[in-house]
Amino acid sequence: MLNNFVGKDIINIGDMTPDQFQYLLDLSKMLKAEKMTGVDHARFHNKNVVAHFEWESTRTRCAFETSCHDLGLGFTYLSNSHFGNKETVKDSIRVFSEMYDAIVLRAQREEAYVREVADIATIPVINACCEGDHPTQMLADALTMQELLGNLKGRKLAFVGNCATTAMWYGRLCALLGMDFYAVGPDDERYQLCDSFKENIEDLFNKWAPNNEIVLTSDKEKLKGMDVVTTECWIYQNPDVHDEDLAATGDWTSLEYSYDAWLRHSDIMEPYRVTSDLMEDYVKNPDCLVMHMLPAYHNADMKLMQKFLAEAKNERDRRILTEGICISDECFEKHASEIFREAGNRQPTIKACLAAVLGI
């Protein structure tokens, strides 16, 4: 397939056709093989990339920075700048368009903002995660699944736990890959996909995977025979449901560090933790992959979980914090090989995005 991404933005995988998505995966495989065999692929000397991140980042920033180095690209990470503070976003983007060849944006807000930036820019914009999608993460997950499972058509992927937002990203991914998609979580609308998210997934399945299934359920029995199980933290919530307790905790930055935002509904979320018991009792497929985009709060060996332990209001929450929130420590370590392969695949897939928009 020809490269259709030259000069284009990469904002949401739902904008792509299955062939375009597979092109990026094939390019990722080529660049990964070159790296592993010591082939120099610094193809983009005299080109430069600027990155502005509003959200904390480990894997995404590291992958973009090392990818730019390997591809011969200059990389600027903005940390202390006028962007949006003493200078309008529009003016900053116009400056970047004069100096750089691509913009990487991680926005702690809705996808519409990333699209507004892309409309202003005269150079490609790559979405490094916003509330609407995380395209480079979805590419890394897809690459990992193809490496470990081969052909994914007809395979089954389940997002387990808090299905309010991140599950949508995986629904789109399944539509592009021809996989059946299951979202399995509590029978509580706060942790279910909102209508617009469901419609988006259904539209993509109707377009690209009409013979595949979409199953949204609270019934864990539906997990039987899954090929892939993934999950995410409990903090996100259905945007169509107003929760006064959640609203009272403050803005999003406050929510990330709020015990109540994380564990206020631990009683209804606990049955949907990804544990070895859940895998054995419900999935019943010893070859099922367990994946996690990370960071994973699978034990309390980090400052945030230690803070929550000190604030714990009951024994259940103490146990969950110690054993793992959305995924248990023992299950995480049992499946560490695929989880950290998934993390490592952030690099070749991000290389592919950069190379594609710059014109490999």
Q: Which residues contact 356 (CB under 8 A, 6 or more apart)?
A: 3, 5, 6, 10, 23, 24, 27
- The tokens describing 241, both together, are 């449901």
**Residue 131 in 3-state DSSP?**
coil
Nearest in space to 351 (alpha carbons), one of 341, 342, 360: 360
Strand partners, 229: 158, 290
Active-site amino acid positions: 59-60, 86, 106, 134
> Which helix (DSSP H) or strand (DSSP E) does residue 149 occupy?
helix 135-149
CA 130, CA 113: separation in Å to the nearest integer? 9
Exposed, middle or buried: residue 98 (CB in 10 Å: 0-12, 13-18, 19+)? exposed
To the nearest 10°, the Cα dihedral for 136, 138, 143, 145?
160
**Residue 140 in 3-state DSSP?**
helix
CA 169, CA 164: separation in Å to the nearest integer? 11
Nearest in space to 71 (alpha carbons), one of 355, 306, 356: 355
CA 265, CA 245: separation in Å to the nearest integer? 11
Nearest in space to 201 (alpha carbons), one of 223, 178, 173, 230: 173
